[in-house]
Chains A and B, each alone.
Chain A
Amino acid sequence: MAADGLQLSHFASLVAFALFVSIALGCLTQRKTRGRVKYAAWSFALFIGVALAIAWLMYPFSR
Chain B
Amino acid sequence: MTETHANQEGVAVSPGKGHSIAPLIVFAAWLVPGMGHLLLRRWGRALAFFFVVGGLALTGFLTRGQVFPPNSDDPFGTLGFLADACSGVFFALAHIIEKAGPDVSRAAGDYGTRFVAAAGIVNSLAMLDAYGISVGRRN
B side interface size, CB within 8 A: 29
CB distance from A21 to the nearest CB of B (A): 7
- Pair count A-B, CB < 8 A: 71
- Tell me if A54 counts as interface (CB < 8 A to partner B): no
CB distance from B46 to the nearest CB of A (A): 10
Q: Are B48's CB and A24's CB within 8 A?
A: yes
Residues of B participating in the A interface, judged by any CB pair closer than 8 Å: 9, 44-45, 48-49, 51-52, 55-56, 59, 62-64, 100, 103, 106-109, 111-112, 114-115, 118, 122, 125-126, 129, 139
Residues of A participating in the B interface, judged by any CB pair closer than 8 Å: 1, 3-8, 10, 13, 16-17, 20-21, 23-24, 27-28, 31, 33
- Since A6-B108, A8-B63, A23-B48 are in contact, a sample of 5 more A-B pairs with Cβ atoms closer than 8 Å, ordered by chain A residue number, is A5-B106, A8-B108, A16-B55, A20-B122, A21-B56
